[in-house]
Structure 1
Amino acid sequence: MIFTSERLVVKTITEAHKKEFVELLTAEEIITAIPQQRPSEEDINVKFEKAIGFDGDISKNPLNIFGVFEEGEDELIGLVAFLTNDDGDRELGYRFRKPYWGKGYATEITKRMIDYSFSELKLDKITADVWVENVASNKVLSKFLKPTKEFYNEYDNCTDRRYTLLKEDWN
């Protein structure tokens, strides 16, 4: 287990979670909201192997992907990621399967990821990038982080907004 929140558990996924993992990377309603193109089977497999092969050290890996589960359940309902952005700063990411949208899970997990980043990972700064048209995620991130720039994301062919939070500003 990596950490828990009020209703959720974040932990390493296993081979048993492959179907839901693939759904989280390919479901039209999820990737359209990011927006991303559907990843190749090879890209999905690389990310899945990285996720199940977590070596225990988030701080040294530029991409860490973990599963999100409801307390006491083994069904993979979402993913969280600790990434490194193009400026070399640590970045938070999350996504949930559609049946779990609108339950406050994104807000709950974002708050806990911030706490974890500052208390356990000893980071001084965290960021999160989101497509400017993703109203729900912009609403969640603006509760905790400050928008610091907008930029054209060539990879996803969209305009993203970067949110930033310094440890000294987190209470």
Structure 2
Amino acid sequence: MVFQSERLIVKAIQKIHKKEFVELLTAEEIIKAIPQNKPSEDNIENKFQLALSFNGDIVGNSLSLLGVFEKNKEDLIGLIGFLTNEEKNRELGYRFRKDFWGRGYATEIAKKMIEYSFNVLKFEKITADVWVENIASNKILAKFFKPVKEFYNEYDNCTDRRYELLKNDWN
């Protein structure tokens, strides 16, 4: 286990989680909210292998993908990512399977990711990017972060909003 919240556990995924992992990367309603094109099978396999190879070193890796699980259950319900963006800032990301939307899990996991980033990983600043039209994620991020800019995301062909939070503003 990497960390936990009141209802959720974040830990490395295993091979048995591949079906849910693929769903998290390909389900229409999930990727439409980002928005992204459906990834290729090679892209999915590469991300799955990256997630399987998690070695516990979030600080040293430019991308770490971890699974989100309800306590006392084995099904993978979501993914979180700790990544490094193009400005070399540490960025947080999350997504959940549609069956788990509307339960407050995204807010709960975002808060714990922030606490973990500052208290354990010792980051001084964290960011999060979200499509401006993804109202639900914008509401969640606005609870904790400050919006700092909007920009055209060429990769996803959309306008994103970047949120930022400094450690000094969190404590």
TM-score bucket of the superposed structures, by smaller chain = over 0.9
Aligned length: 171
1:4-153 superposed matches below 5 A = 4-153=4-153
Structure 2 alignment gaps of length 5 or more: none
**TM-score, structure 2 normalization:** 0.99
In the TM superposition, residue 151 of structure 1 has moved relative to its aligned partner by 0.1
Deviations 1:8-63 (A, max 9, x none): 00000000000000000000000000000000100101100010111111001111
In the TM superposition, residue 116 of structure 1 has moved relative to its aligned partner by 0.2
**RMSD after superposition:** 0.4
Structure 1 alignment gaps of length 5 or more: none
Runs of 4+ in 1 over 3 A off after TM superposition: none
Deviations 1:51-79 (A, max 9, x none): 01111110011110000000010000000
Q: How many angstroms apart in 2 are the aligned matches of 1:129 and 1:50? A: 21
**TM-score, structure 1 normalization:** 0.99
The sequence identity of aligned pairs, in percent, is 69
For residue 18 of structure 2, give the secondary structure of its aligned residue in structure 1.
helix
Q: How many angstroms apart in 2 are the aligned matches of 1:61 and 1:39? A: 22
Q: How many angstroms apart in 1 are the aligned matches of 2:56 and 2:131? A: 30
Q: How many angstroms apart in 1 are the aligned matches of 2:100 and 2:119? A: 27
Q: How many angstroms apart in 2 are the aligned matches of 1:90 and 1:152? A: 19
Q: How many angstroms apart in 2 are the aligned matches of 1:62 and 1:40? A: 22
Q: How many angstroms apart in 2 are the aligned matches of 1:2 and 1:36? A: 28
